[in-house]
């Protein structure tokens, strides 16, 4: 039987960590992820886990400690946000290139500067090509569930990559929702024990970790790493199907909401999907064939699945809570449009909206305007400006 609770997103993730009982957690506090190690430290203190909790002097040190512990053969976890993730930058690439299967809660927050502690996706989107698997979560329930599944995904022999579980700062991290927890023993059985094949403390197999990797070797090693990311899609599917049998909660690469006959669709990540679903329901009641696609998996990118979901719509808006600062749209827009072209979906009118930067409110009226714009685009038969900003004061809509 599931356990019904009321928890914030950070509490839910900390409880997932407690149930998994990792060997090592190294962390440094930064808003809005601070509560995750804070809650978890109480579990360490009261004996609920036997984890070695390592309080460090910076996020760079936190990820460095995680790398050392994972290389030694430990099951490792951490949490961070925004500038903390930025300070980890160098070590993020080391963790993934060494094929170390750790799990990190990335509580999405704007990266400085100027300083802002509120939600957007500039932190994890900036790290999108660092070699970490990335899962995005709309609700507290999804954050909890994905964190548990992430452990199995990261440690799978065909993946061996770190996983970032991303959810929106304050909107998800601090908001309390009803949630169904899995029993402790069921979680422990689901994730299993971690037995790495190669690790530093194995005296039967002396190895070096992180040696100089020059011209004759690095290319092939990066190819192997890329294969691990490609393999992750199959493993995510398998683990999610097993999780569904266990809990009844179904997770796919993308969630398609009212997409069977949709003529106008948006693609959006994380908590904004909940707002958009309410708008879709309202528009459907008015006879507008609106739909929504919410990627759960961003790395590896589910290009084929997204292209398939969008191939029959008349117009689509891709919504980015991070600006690519490249003059031609945000990171989700770039990946979605590339996937559409590669998969032969070239007759759908496409527009990008940058929105919600620095925690700017996104209301149902904002989402309604996006769908209204899509209908106008279809009626006009062309897209006047594909690069737009939603909710910008005195700026382009």
279/334 same-domain check: yes
Calculate what percentage of the chain has a pLDDT beyond 90.
98
162/288 same-domain check: no
Last-in-domain residue among 188, 223, 247: 247
| Rounded mean pLDDT, 142-163 | 98
337, containing H or E segment: helix 331-342
Q: What is the pLDDT of residue 395?
A: 62
pLDDT digits (tens, 9 = 90+) for 16-41: 999 999 999 999 999 999 999 999 99
> How many Cβ atoms from other residues are within 10 Å of residue 263's Cβ?
15
208/269 same-domain check: no
| Rounded mean pLDDT, 155-168 | 98
Q: What is the pLDDT of residue 189?
A: 98
Tokens 């904002």 found at: 366
- Look up the domain containing 140 and give its range: 3-247
pLDDT for residue 397 is more than 90 = no
228/317 same-domain check: no
Q: What is the CATH number for 266?
A: 3.40.50.920
Contact between 256 and 285 under an 8 Å Cβ cutoff? The reply is no
| Rounded mean pLDDT, 203-219 | 94
| Rounded mean pLDDT, 70-87 | 98
Q: What is the pLDDT of residue 254?
A: 98
Calculate what percentage of the chain has a pLDDT beyond 70.
99
Is position 223 within any domain? yes
Q: What is the pLDDT of residue 394?
A: 79
Count up the domains in the chain and report the number: 2
193/266 same-domain check: no
pLDDT for residue 241 is more than 90 = yes
134/266 same-domain check: no
pLDDT for residue 1 is more than 80 = no
238/263 same-domain check: no
86/114 same-domain check: yes
pTM: 0.97
Q: What is the mean pLDDT of the chain?
A: 97
Q: What is the pLDDT of residue 2?
A: 82
Beta strands in the chain (DSSP E): 3-8, 24-27, 52-55, 76-80, 103-108, 133-137, 163-168, 176-181, 254-257, 264-267, 290-295, 297-299, 315-320, 349-355, 387-390
pLDDT digits (tens, 9 = 90+) for 344-376: 999 999 999 999 999 999 999 999 999 999 999
Last-in-domain residue among 209, 229, 247: 247
pLDDT digits (tens, 9 = 90+) for 293-341: 999 999 999 999 999 999 999 999 999 999 999 999 999 999 999 999 9
146/291 same-domain check: no
19/42 same-domain check: yes
324/375 same-domain check: yes
| Rounded mean pLDDT, 210-238 | 96
Q: What is the CATH number for 173?
A: 3.40.50.970
Q: What is the pLDDT of residue 25?
A: 98
pLDDT for residue 396 is more than 70 = no
pLDDT for residue 14 is more than 80 = yes
Last-in-domain residue among 247, 265, 283: 247
Q: What is the pLDDT of residue 137?
A: 98
77/192 same-domain check: yes
Is position 396 within any domain? no
* C-alpha dist (Å) from residue 118 to 33, 234, 301, 338, 357: 11, 34, 26, 30, 9
Strands 297-299 and 133-137, how do they pair? antiparallel
Is position 397 within any domain? no
């Amino acid at each position: 039987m599931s356990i019904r609770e009321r928890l914030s997103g950070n509490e839910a993730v900390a409880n997932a960590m407690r149930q998994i009982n990792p060997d090592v957690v190294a962390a440094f506090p930064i808003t809005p992820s601070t509560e995750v190690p804070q809650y978890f430290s109480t579990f360490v203190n009261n004996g609920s886990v036997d984890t070695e909790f390592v309080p460090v002097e910076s996020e760079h040190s936190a990820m460095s400690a995680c790398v050392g512990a994972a290389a030694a053969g430990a099951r490792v976890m951490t949490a961070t946000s925004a500038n903390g993730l930025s300070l980890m930058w160098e070590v993020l690439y080391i963790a993934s290139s060494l094929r170390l299967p750790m799990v990190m809660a990335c509580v999405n927050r704007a990266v400085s500067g100027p300083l802002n502690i509120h939600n957007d996706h500039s932190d994890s989107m900036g790290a999108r090509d660092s070699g970490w698997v990335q899962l995005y979560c709309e609700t507290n329930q999804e954050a909890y569930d994905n964190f548990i599944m992430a452990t199995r995904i990261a440690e799978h022999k065909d993946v061996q990559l770190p996983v970032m579980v991303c959810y929106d700062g304050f909107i998800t991290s601090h908001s309390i929702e009803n949630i169904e927890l899995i029993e402790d023993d069921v979680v422990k059985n689901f994730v299993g024990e971690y037995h790495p094949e190669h690790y530093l403390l194995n005296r039967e197999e002396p190895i070096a970790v992180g040696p100089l990797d020059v011209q004759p070797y690095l290319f092939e090693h990066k190819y192997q790493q890329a294969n691990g990311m490609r393999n992750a899609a199959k493993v995510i599917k398998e683990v999610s199907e097993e999780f569904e049998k266990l809990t009844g909660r179904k997770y796919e690469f993308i969630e398609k909401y009212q997409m069977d006959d949709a003529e106008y669709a948006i693609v959006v990540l994380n908590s904004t999907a909940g707002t958009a679903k309410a708008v879709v329901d309202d528009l459907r009641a008015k006879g507008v064939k609106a739909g929504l696609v919410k990627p759960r998996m961003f790395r590896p990118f589910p290009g084929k699945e997204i292209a398939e979901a969008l191939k029959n719509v008349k117009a689509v808006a891709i919504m980015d809570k991070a600006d690519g600062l490249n003059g031609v749209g945000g990171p989700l827009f770039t990946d979605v449009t590339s996937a559409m072209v590669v998969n032969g979906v070239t007759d759908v009118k496409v527009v990008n909206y940058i929105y919600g930067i620095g925690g700017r409110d996104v209301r149902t009226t904002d989402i309604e305007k996006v769908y209204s714009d899509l209908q106008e685009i279809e009626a006009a038969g062309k897209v006047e400006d594909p690069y737009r900003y939603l909710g910008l004061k005195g700026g382009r809509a």
